[in-house]
Structure 1
Amino acid sequence: MNIWLPTALCVSTLILAGCNGSSDDNKTNTAPSQSEVIHQQIRDLINTTMAQDQIPGMSLALVSDQDVLFAEGFGVREQNQPESITPDTPFWLGSVSKAVMGTAITHAMENQLLDLTTPITSTLNAAGSFTLATPEADNMALIHLVTHISGIEDDDNYDCAYFYDNGAGQTRYLAEDFSDLSCNASVPTDMSSYLRSYLSADGAYYDADNFNPPGEEHEYSNIASALAGYTLQLATGQSLADYAQANLFSPMGMLNTSWKLSDFDISRIAVPHIRNGNGGLISLPFYSLSTWPDGGLRSSANDLAMFLQMVMNQGNSGGVQILRPDSVELMQSNIIGDDNEAYGIFWNTTTMNGRVLKGHTGSDPGAFSFMLYDPATQLGVVLIANGDDNFAGMDTKYFGIIEQLLQQAEKLK
């Protein structure tokens, strides 16, 4: 609370009694406003959750389609270090990246650069890229990738997509540091090389058991998602990172969002943390991801709040039309699935606690994220963390927290 000094100073003989009368006569008991009470309840919820789950830092934004109702950072960007989290601190997002990729794909479709029905093999062949070794490969189209019905499955070798530079110019694999998995050092870490190694019959990570005919059943796939991002690159001549920067992030003024680590001052990024076997925390390096379209985006709560509001406002962001309303509707529509779990163009529709939510969640080593909104109330929540979500009951607990936050947002609207 700020305590403002009076504009005129009291003379010294009146200090003990107070200015303009006795101190008792001039005491005011100002009760906190309803919004202040709600803000404190939100802070208490987040701080309690962080303490329970050993999370060093979180950032939260609650939005309506018109306003940012609450935006605040909690904790620190790295354990045992003083730098505080703010709503502008960039975090690793994990699979929330897919919803952003889906928006970029929708934008490219709107500009007739992509089509959901175009066979993936046609795009790969036109670019002289690798050959898909999957049953009925010629029948696999972009629509199968963005709705997770491609028939491509992730196996343990997907974990070899996470890597970092050990500081001596050598590549280290995160999985080898924390599991018994052995990665193939002969596979280059760039996206096209990794995808070739996994999706081509002669690839180092190829396994025929990871492929089923497209369109037959739902199978959430990070590899297929990365292939969708690669397809955008081949079709547009720009990487997904560059395309999104030019057509989404820059026009919207999202200054703390990028798929490229080189775009950030790393001293500002939230450091991911995992638990060790003794109940403590381990700070992870700023790792990268060979299949980066599926999970490698970094962003802040404020930027994602702006992004979510654009979607809630039918593609309009502060007077700038990013997407047409019909494109936004298609992106979030139920292309495949049922009323409880459906996918549009990577945008997920799910029902939790009786509430229909649209958006995406994310989870990767040492970081997790939520970007969701309720179309019935036009209220949204962004919650991002640099902690470990690998514990029993996490999903139930955090969707309960999301529900509490949306209820608080209803009171603030």
Structure 2
Amino acid sequence: MSRLDQAPARRARRLRSAAALGLAVALAGAGCAGPDTAAVLPKAAAPTSPLPTVPPAQPPQQLSREKIDTAVDKLDGIVQDAMRRTGVPGVAVGVVHDDEVLYMEGFGTRKAGTKSKISPDTVFQLASVSKPVASTVVAAAVGDETVGWDDPVVKYTPRFALKDPWVTDHVTLADLFSHRSGLPDHAGDLLEDLGFDRTYILEHLRYEPLAPFRASYAYTNFGLTAAAEAVAQASDTSWEKLSADKLYGPLGMDSTSSSFGDYEKAENKAVGHVREGDAWKAEFVRDAEAQSPAGGASSTVRDMTKFLRLQLGNGKFDGKQVVEAEALDETHLPHIVSEPPHAPAGRTGFYGLGWNVGYDDQGRLKLSHSGAFALGAATNVTMLPSENLGIVILTNGMPVGVPEAIASTFLDTVQTGGPTVDWLKFIGPLLEQAAAGDRSETNYAKPPADAAPAKADDTYTGTYANDFYGPMTVSAEGEGLVMQLGPKKLKFRLRHYDGDTFSYRTVGENAVGLSGVTFTVDSSGRADKVRVESLDHNKLGTFTRQ
């Protein structure tokens, strides 16, 4: 089936859980809506207007406290409008200005259909907002001279390896935190979906193909996790404890953790929801323990306002220098172009160390990051450091644009008195477009009218090997075939599609609906190879009969 081979080129994979979501927020400056907003590509959450040139003699006018207070007064309505239009069950929002918490509110319910209210102390999964949290933990270790941003990862984790030995020896903590190592987009995530743990996934990054080192950007949860693990090794502790010791403890972020177990046992926690039609349902539990530094932290809006105060205070909190300023400042600088402009007048997007780095139409530095679980979470944090202003939004629904729209509308309101764009209407379709782009071109739910019959079951049954994904077993169960994958021996029923091609329903964070499984039958009349379409984005999805 030639269409199956087109899958890797088609995928603008995984906007729904990527930092690209944060690029939408880069539009939220004064007058940011421009003609090129219609030219958005699926992989980019938003194009932006031109980078400004602000003459030194005419610096941007500082936002007045009056304007900020006016925008804060409108936040209840902004949040409620987004919830009404999307149905997202629960939202919590916090705003910090000049080291003061101006706003901290919860809306909706922790679980749809219950009376469990969201409060500022409700624990949410942060998803990829874990990344700027993680880079702050590493900045604290850099400030303590435990590690340096430019230290090679192999200095602390000798078993770490990538496909190219030279890159293995030279890739640094900063390279992996800025997604410029050459690892492909979301490398290792599919192993997580199959149930492999952090150790296995990090050790198997060596099989992933590499793009040019330090010359290309590709968002990788497990690349960043590898760097964070190296810092934990250098500190002779676990990542979970290092995070608590360096950041959560000193800031009094008592409800924040990098352990999924702590989220699970929290009584006041928001559970994840997915949207099915017009209904929101709490159907899945997203355990991101394997990628904890990149996506596995959990927190409350109350705690995250403390995090904002630290960031905007150059590493100080309540008068104490918790994180050395220079080490923290390095995380806020551009380290790689993450989003080239899509038009001559487009604005360039950058990635720092765990942050999307951009500039608004007044030339002000803007730092942001979004987080998203397709299984039920969407979050955002956005800051204008020169204004000492930051906002954090946590939600318990799959990504439909709510946190980004709230952040963008708030910042627009601060600067112009109201939104310059209907941000929810703008961002939501981008996410839908990206999610649709993840699915197979082949409609496996409807076999072709002239479909060739399958061969006998024993043509396909047996055990197949794969260095990356481990063994796969195909067996006959009941009236059909079952494929078994991963350490937990997940079972997937194969349904015949056409000839030697079957379909199965994908599961996990990266599920894409029905996908294909194609056997290659040799001259002996038995299948000697099988290609799993949804696992083959980096040409690693072919299994060979043992």
TM-score, normalised by the number of residues in structure 2: 0.57
Q: Percent identity?
A: 24
Shift of 1:333: 2.1
Q: Give 1:16-27 correspondences, 5 Å limit.
A: none
Q: 1:95 to 1:296 in 2, by over 3 A?
A: same
C-alpha RMSD of matched pairs (Å)? 2.9
Distance 1:299 1:408 in 2: 31
2:372 to 363, 366, 372: 363
CA distance in 2, matches of 1:36, 1:217: 41
Q: Structure 1: how far apart are the matches of 2:79 and 2:372?
A: 18
Paired residues of 1:69 and 1:409 also in contact (CA < 8 A): no
Which residue type is aligned with residue 403 of structure 1?
Answer: L
CA shift, 1:318, in A, is 1.0
Whether contact under 8 Å (2:71, 2:410) holds in the other structure is: no
Q: Paired residue for 1:293?
A: 293
With over 3 angstroms needed to count, the CA separation of the structure-2 counterparts of 1:112 and 1:157, relative to structure 1, is closer
Shift of 1:226: 1.2
- Number of residue equivalences: 340
Aligned partner of 1:121 in structure 2 is 154
Secondary structure of the 1:403 match is: helix
SS in 1 for 2:157: helix
Report if aligned partners of 1:120, 1:231 keep a CA contact under 8 Å in 2.
Answer: yes
Give 5+ residue unaligned stretches, structure 2.
Answer: 1-66, 339-346, 419-546
Matched AA of 1:237: D
Secondary structure in 2 aligned to 1:383? strand
TM-fit CA distance, 1:242: 0.7
Residue of structure 1 in register with 2:164 after alignment: 134
Q: Deviations over 1:223-277 (max 9, x none)?
A: 211111111122111122211101211111111110113334433111111112x
- In the alignment, the residues of structure 2 paired with residue 86 and residue 316 of structure 1 have an alpha-carbon distance, to the nearest angstrom, of 27
| Cα pair 2:187 2:223 within 8 Å, conserved | no
Pair 345,302 (structure 1): closer, same or farther in 2 beyond 3 Å: same
User: How far, CA to CA, are the matches of 1:151 and 1:37 in structure 2?
Assistant: 45
Distance 2:372 2:72 in 1: 27
Residue type of the alignment partner of 2:183? I
Letter in 2 for 1:316: K
Q: CA separation in 2, counterparts of 1:36 and 1:216?
A: 43
Q: CA deviation at 1:375?
A: 1.8
Amino acid at match of 1:361: S
What is the aligned partner in structure 1 of residue 434 from structure 2?
none
The answer to whether residue 225 in structure 2 is matched with residue 192 in structure 1 is no
Q: What CA distance in whole angstroms lies between the structure 2 residues aligned with 1:91 and 1:213?
A: 37
**In the aligned structure 1, how far is the partner of 2:294 from the partner of 2:404?**
24
Structure 1 CA distance for aligned equivalents of residues 283 and 325 of structure 2? 41
- Do 1:252 and 1:320's aligned partners in 2 also have CA atoms closer than 8 Å? no
Is contact 1:380-1:406 (8 Å) kept? no
Residues 343 and 349 of structure 1 are in contact (CA less than 8 Å); yes or no, is this contact kept in structure 2? yes
Structure 1 residue 82: Cα displacement: 0.7
Counterparts of 1:62-141 in structure 2, within 5 Å, are 62-125=95-158, 129-134=159-164, 136=166, 137-141=168-172
Matched, 1:347 2:346: no
Distance 1:313 1:389, change over 3 A: same
CA drift of 1:212 comes to 2.2
What is the CA-CA distance between 1:367 and the residue it aligns to? 0.8
Query: What is the distance in 2 between the residues matched to 1:67 and 1:83?
Result: 28
Contact 2:110 2:396 in 1 (8 A): yes
- The SS at the match of 2:127 is coil
Structure 2 match to 1:331: 331
Unaligned runs of 5+ in 1: 1-33, 162-172, 174-182, 201-205
Question: Does the Cα contact within 8 Å between 1:104 and 1:243 map onto a contact in 2?
Answer: yes
| 2:262 corresponds to | 263
User: 1:281: Cα distance to partner?
Assistant: 1.8
Indicate how the Cα distance of structure 1 residues 350 and 37 shifts in structure 2: closer, same or farther if over 3 A, else same. closer
CA distance in 2, matches of 1:405, 1:72: 18
Matched, 1:373 2:383: yes
Letter of the 2:394 partner, please give it: I
- Greater relative contact order, per chain length (Cα 8 Å cut-off, separation 6+): 1
Bigger mean CA offset, 71-80 vs 289-298:
289-298
